[in-house]
Chain A
Amino acid sequence: MERPLTQNIRPGEEPLDLKEYERAGGYQAVRRALRNMTPQMITQAVKDSNLRGRGGAGFPAGLKWSFVPMGDDAPHPKYMIANTDEMEPGTFKDRLLVEGDPHQLIEGVIISSYAIQANVAYIFVRWAYKLAAKRLNQAISEAYENHYLGKNILGSGYSLELYLHVSAGRYMCGEETGMLNALEGRRAIPRAKPPHPTTIGLWGKPTVVNNVETLCSVPHIVNKGVEWFKSLSHTQEGGTKIYGVSGKVKRPGAWELPMGTTIRELLEEHAGGMRDGVQFRGVLPGGASTDFLVEEHLDVPMDFDSVQKAGSRMGTGTMIVLDDQTCPVGMVQNLEYFFARESCGWCTPCRDGLPWTAQMLQAIEEGQGQSRDLERLAAHTKLLGPGHTFCALAPGAMEPLQSALKYFRQDFERHIHEKRCPWR
């Protein structure tokens, strides 16, 4: 099985430096792209490869790029941003890529920037990823020294400045318009869409924000072609995917596997099954802001369309497992507490609704819930749902709650009737 994204990653060791990366075939895609391909050819290849955004929303990457104004009349400069603000609870895949092979991300950024003719790019790294930032800094200077960055890259006439921005915290920075505000030195609140950042983005100029894993896939598409990329997948969506599993399983971890690997294979083969003495009850398939799936969904292939059909979202593809010795009410309370704290406060349903939700869950967990609380919580999942808020934070927060009320309702009711948490 081919694992292009992680082929150079040696866990526990230093990443490849520039020379080693070149010897492993690195930066060949930049040469090929700048010498033999027009920006339109690259965008078309990425479109044809069916590469969907790996940050969670699954938007087709090539389609996003195709919205950027091109040609001599296009606004200047345009910007490319690598979203390395991995803060979705339960998600640890981009850390692996950036710490393990920083040059791969830089190569992806260069080619993607060229495809939209951006002349400035940022890698936006969260504060906590100290090692990733250190390794990126080192790799960026090596890339400048070797003329993969800067003016007139490899004599092609194309120029790109790449800067590292290390953030100062807050989940909202990972939302693409929040990230633009953070880069402009403002509070990371979301912006109204449309206009989308592809036309009015950073400092009002066309801007593409892509996830790390998405960008890391691009050099491989350029090198080996669309058909090869599609053939890596078990399903229609191209490529491999970094999947992860955390919770009470025998071997928590992250693995690069064909897109469309089933939940069962991930849990049983790669994560080694549940720890001895605990039983599987459910799973958040792709981070904190995705709906629970349960036993009946174990054979669902993990790709964007299949997980959506099963009633959830693949999200980041890093799953969190709920077991029978963990209280589902307590788990949802933990999730809602996170979302309430990370709400930026810009719109009322999110700012006020999330703390109410978290408090109601806390009351239930502490044995002070009333039977009406379940209706109130259900009402909140609608009031804070899609269409009522400025960005996707609160609707995302409602996904684990609405599905917990559906699949674990008896556990909520037990808390209320017994006036205590049965797990304590």
Chain B
Amino acid sequence: MLSEEERREIQAEIPHYEQKRACCIEAMKIVQQHRGWVSDESIQDIAEVLEMTPDELDGVATFYNLIFRRPVGKHVILVCDSVSCWIVGYDHIRDHLTTRLGIHFGETSADGRFTLLPIACLGTCDHAPALMVDEDLYRDLDPEKVDEILAKYQ
């Protein structure tokens, strides 16, 4: 069931669009903000509020890579793997992260702290390589800096 707060936040977004269903990406982001991911049950609940069928909504959910349809760790690391970062050392950043966390892309660390995902160009190419943890952007990375960043997220 959606919480009162989730419902309220979704209702506030609906008038920004011509049709209710147009608000569905916003609605899924709201639920994900509260729960970390969007479960099958949430898909049903959101679909009901927006007068859509669950399969219709799931078709939208699965298109967008930042709507998580599976549980993620407490923090999500998004590593830019696009060209400018690749040229100046993305490989080292990726290898350092996979070794330190003992996981590959798409996996969550055993302690549930981090999920590691690749992401397309973060638009900060003059400070490559770059990554985001949750909503925070980190730039000009090297392996030591990555260690400092990881230590900040418990």
CB distance from B28 to the nearest CB of A (A): 7
- A244's partner among B64, B122, B125 (CB-CB below 8 A) is B125
**Separation of A331 and B83 alpha carbons in the complex (Å):** 7
Q: What 1/0 flags go to B123-154 for Cβ under 8 Å of A?
A: 11111100010010100000000000000000
The verdict on A168 contacting B125 (CB below 8 Å), with A187-B63, A338-B83 known, is no
Contacts of A302 in B (CB 8 A): none
Cβ-defined contact, B120 with A168, below 8 A: no
**Separation of A184 and B126 alpha carbons in the complex (Å):** 34
CB of B2 within 8 Å of the partner chain = no
CB of B119 within 8 Å of the partner chain = yes
CB distance from B83 to the nearest CB of A (A): 5
Q: What 1/0 flags go to B23-47 for Cβ under 8 Å of A?
A: 1111011000000000000000000
CB of A128 within 8 Å of the partner chain = yes
**Separation of A338 and B29 alpha carbons in the complex (Å):** 24
Q: What 1/0 flags go to A64-101 for Cβ under 8 Å of B?
A: 00000000000000000000001111111011000000
CB of A335 within 8 Å of the partner chain = yes
Cβ-defined contact, B25 with A253, below 8 A: no
B3-11, B13-21, B94-102: which lies at the interface: B13-21
**Separation of A254 and B126 alpha carbons in the complex (Å):** 8
Interface set, chain A 142-167, CB cutoff 8 A to B: 163, 165-167
- B60's partner among A92, A186, A254, A330 (CB-CB below 8 A) is A186
**Separation of A202 and B19 alpha carbons in the complex (Å):** 11
Cβ-defined contact, B126 with A90, below 8 A: no
Cβ-defined contact, B123 with A95, below 8 A: yes
Cβ-defined contact, B83 with A86, below 8 A: no
Contacts of A252 in B (CB 8 A): 125-128
- A168's partner among B66, B123, B126 (CB-CB below 8 A) is B66
**Closest residue on chain A to residue B88 by CB atoms:** A248
Contacts of B67 in A (CB 8 A): 168-169
Cβ-defined contact, B124 with A92, below 8 A: yes
**Closest residue on chain B to residue A187 by CB atoms:** B63
Closest 4 CB pairs of A and B: A246-B125, A168-B64, A252-B126, A89-B82
**Which residue numbers of A lie inside 8 Å of B, CB to CB?**
86-92, 94-95, 126-131, 163, 165-171, 182-188, 202-203, 244-248, 252-254, 284, 288, 318, 320-323, 326, 330-331, 334-335, 337-338, 341-342, 344
CB distance from B26 to the nearest CB of A (A): 8
Cβ-defined contact, A169 with B24, below 8 A: no
Cβ-defined contact, A167 with B25, below 8 A: yes
Cβ-defined contact, A185 with B119, below 8 A: no
How many chain B residues touch A (CB < 8 A): the figure is: 41
Contacts of A186 in B (CB 8 A): 60
Cβ-defined contact, A288 with B83, below 8 A: yes
Cβ-defined contact, B123 with A91, below 8 A: yes
**Separation of A252 and B132 alpha carbons in the complex (Å):** 20
The verdict on A183 contacting B22 (CB below 8 Å), with A92-B126, A326-B87 known, is yes
Cβ-defined contact, A185 with B120, below 8 A: no
CB distance from B18 to the nearest CB of A (A): 5
**Closest residue on chain A to residue B135 by CB atoms:** A130
**Closest residue on chain A to residue B64 by CB atoms:** A168
Cβ-defined contact, A334 with B123, below 8 A: no
- B29's partner among A91, A166, A188, A253 (CB-CB below 8 A) is A166
Contacts of A94 in B (CB 8 A): 123
Cβ-defined contact, B126 with A185, below 8 A: no
Contacts of B82 in A (CB 8 A): 89-90, 288, 334, 338
Cβ-defined contact, B84 with A89, below 8 A: yes
**Separation of A165 and B18 alpha carbons in the complex (Å):** 13
Mind listing 14 A-B residue pairs with CB under 8 Å? A90-B121, A128-B78, A168-B29, A168-B65, A169-B66, A171-B120, A182-B25, A184-B19, A185-B23, A186-B60, A246-B126, A322-B87, A338-B82, A341-B120
Cβ-defined contact, A128 with B123, below 8 A: yes
**Separation of A330 and B135 alpha carbons in the complex (Å):** 30
Contacts of B26 in A (CB 8 A): 165-166
CB distance from B14 to the nearest CB of A (A): 11
Interface set, chain B 58-97, CB cutoff 8 A to A: 59-60, 63-67, 78, 81-84, 86-88
Contacts of A247 in B (CB 8 A): 84, 87-88
Cβ-defined contact, A320 with B121, below 8 A: no
**Separation of A130 and B122 alpha carbons in the complex (Å):** 11
Contacts of B128 in A (CB 8 A): 246, 252
**Closest residue on chain A to residue B125 by CB atoms:** A246
Cβ-defined contact, B87 with A170, below 8 A: no
**Separation of A182 and B17 alpha carbons in the complex (Å):** 12
Contacts of B84 in A (CB 8 A): 89-90, 246-247, 320
CB distance from A213 to the nearest CB of B (A): 13
Cβ-defined contact, B132 with A185, below 8 A: no
- B65's partner among A166, A170, A187, A288 (CB-CB below 8 A) is A170
Cβ-defined contact, B66 with A127, below 8 A: yes
CB distance from A325 to the nearest CB of B (A): 10
CB distance from A54 to the nearest CB of B (A): 15
Contacts of B78 in A (CB 8 A): 128
